[in-house]
Amino acid sequence: MIPTQLIHYTSAFSSFTESLGVRIYPSVDHECWAFIMPCFIILVFLLIRCFIFTSSSCQSDRNQDHRPRVSCVGQGLTAVPQGIHTDTQVLVLTGNQFTSLSWSMYSGFTELHELDLSHNNISTLQPPGPVLEKLSVLRLSGNMLTGLGGLVFRCAPSLMEIYLDRNQIGSLQNDTFSDLPRLEVINLSQNKLPVLPPRLLDLVSSSSLKTFDLENNSVSLMPDGFFSSKPELPYVYLTHNPWLCSCAVGYLHSFLNDQEHNIYMHEGLYNIISAADSVLCSGPPHLLRRPIIELEGSDFCPPDPPHPSGDQYTKPCCILSDLEHPRVVPTN
């Protein structure tokens, strides 16, 4: 583009000056200049293009692990541009217009290690297609996903990190993250999950899961035994969920007490802080904003009210009347 335009402008300029009857340069110099300048610019342009650009709009370099990376950012793309080296290991396609994740679109990149589709308009993951053998990091942050079915990541069996934060995810299946034996990071923060499938972690076959990030969702109940298959998960994020502190919070209460050292929250962009005491009740009203970990069992699950007095209890008549008028257990 540039050299052609330049030649065009150069000749336009000289014919303009000639039309005025002015010759700015002696003809020999003029011809040299007109010949050498474009050649020089073409050369520089080609060098830049070889070293920095793969296709005119994508930048090519290496990431901090020295993996070959190609970045095509914010260009309104809906498909991978032509001409990207097939040995690219990190493909960054953030801020484009992709509306679904198509596995086959990336099958030509046999070395693909990381795919970054953050901040697109992706609302669906296409059904399983070709297997992306080496894909380890998948970034889908800031898209339009509303739910994930079972086994949706099975074409990427080497996945270690899945970033799904800042979507609109409202439902998952028990087996959404199954069959990923190397999985280490699940980021679900800033979604709209109202419930967790009880066996979600149970069906994660990986024994190296490290991070489960559920910050800023709408979960009010932690299913009993949710973490039991991953007892020492080192980074668990649970803050900013509307936990309901009824009797059923008992499992979460004992999990927090047991795993206090593994509970964190994010602070700012890069910091994390230990935060077992930031997992708060959002109800019932008398426990609002109380840290769950600080509650006594009797706070959230009051025992049956005691009998008014011991001697009444021993009277057979009272036991009878109890049967006739069953005690009402407060349910707040």
Question: Does 210 contact ligand NAG by CB under 6 A?
Answer: no
- Within residues 100-139, the interface with ligand NAG by CB under 6 A covers 121, 123
Q: Token pair of 76, please?
A: 């309104």
Q: What is the DSSP letter of 285?
A: G
- The nearest distance, CB 238 to ligand NAG, in angstroms, is 12
Contact stretch for ligand NAG (CB under 6 A) within 28-36, 132-140, 209-217, 322-330: 209-217
Nearer to ligand NAG, 198 or 283 (CB): 198
CA distance 255 to 225: 9
CA distance 300 to 99: 45
Q: Token pair of 37, please?
A: 């300048």
Which string of x and - marks every residue 214-253 that binds ligand NAG (by CB under 6 A)? --x-----------------------x-------------
237's CB contacts (< 8 A; 6+ apart) are 189, 211, 212, 213, 214, 215, 263, 264, 265, 266
Through-space distance between the first and last CA atoms of the chain, rounded to whole angstroms: 72
Q: What is the DSSP letter of 174?
A: T
- Within residues 38-57, the interface with ligand NAG by CB under 6 A covers none
- Within residues 258-277, the interface with ligand NAG by CB under 6 A covers 266
Binding residue (CB under 6 A) for ligand NAG from 211, 229, 259, 282: 211
Nearer to ligand NAG, 71 or 216 (CB): 216
Binding residue (CB under 6 A) for ligand NAG from 152, 169, 213, 280: 213
Nearer to ligand NAG, 113 or 166 (CB): 166
43's CB contacts (< 8 A; 6+ apart) are none
